């Protein structure tokens, strides 16, 4: 188990604020919002693979959006803050805060299929690894 002091030494101040203190980056500022290169999005805290580029979707919400995650890689927690029901998502390996899931919004994945969930993830919580060509 890594202590909060060890996390603080390992992560940038912004990564620590979001991953460990459940913060949120400003909409439209993250590097992966409109990023569609082929590869894998890993947890910025522990490098666990969380999403692939095939999970990405266009939502225009200001944060990277995915319709699903790799099996067993995220945990879900009900979050009733801000007067709404959201599902907080955390890395299943290090418990780092990733963002929230919003359900039933009617978005489509990149293939054009309607999906039920939108995983709205902070770019700061992610580290992209490009696909080997």
d(CA 11, CA 14): 8
pTM exceeds cut of 0.85: yes
pLDDT-derived band at 80 (thresholds 50, 70, 90) equals confident
Q: What is the pLDDT of residue 81?
A: 79
pLDDT-derived band at 133 (thresholds 50, 70, 90) equals low
Q: What is the pLDDT of residue 40?
A: 98
91 is catalytic: no
Q: Would you say domain 4-130 falls under CATH 2.40.50.140? A: no
- Sequence-separated (6 or more) residues with CB below 8 Å from residue 71: none
Domain segments of the chain as ranges: 4-130
Two structure tokens written together for 127:
């580290």
34-67 pLDDT, tens digit per residue, is 999 999 999 999 999 999 999 999 888 899 999 9
19-40 pLDDT, tens digit per residue, is 999 999 999 999 999 999 999 9
What element of type H or E holds 78? strand 74-79
d(CA 8, CA 116): 35
* Selected catalytic residue, list 46, 91, 94, 120: 120
């Amino acid at each position: 188990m890594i202590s909060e002091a060890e996390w603080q030494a390992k992560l940038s101040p912004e990564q620590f604020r979001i991953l460990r203190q459940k913060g949120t980056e400003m909409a439209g500022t993250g590097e992966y919002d409109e990023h569609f290169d082929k590869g894998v999005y890993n947890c910025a805290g522990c490098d666990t693979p969380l999403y692939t580029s095939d999970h990405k979707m266009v939502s225009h919400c200001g944060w990277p959006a995915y319709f699903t995650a790799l099996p067993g890689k995220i945990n879900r927690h009900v979050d009733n803050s801000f007067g709404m029901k959201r599902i907080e998502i955390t890395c299943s390996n290090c418990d780092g805060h990733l963002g929230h899931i919003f359900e039933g919004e009617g978005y489509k994945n990149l293939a054009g299929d309607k999906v039920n969930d939108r995983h709205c993830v902070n770019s700061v919580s992610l580290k992209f690894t490009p696909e080997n060509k």
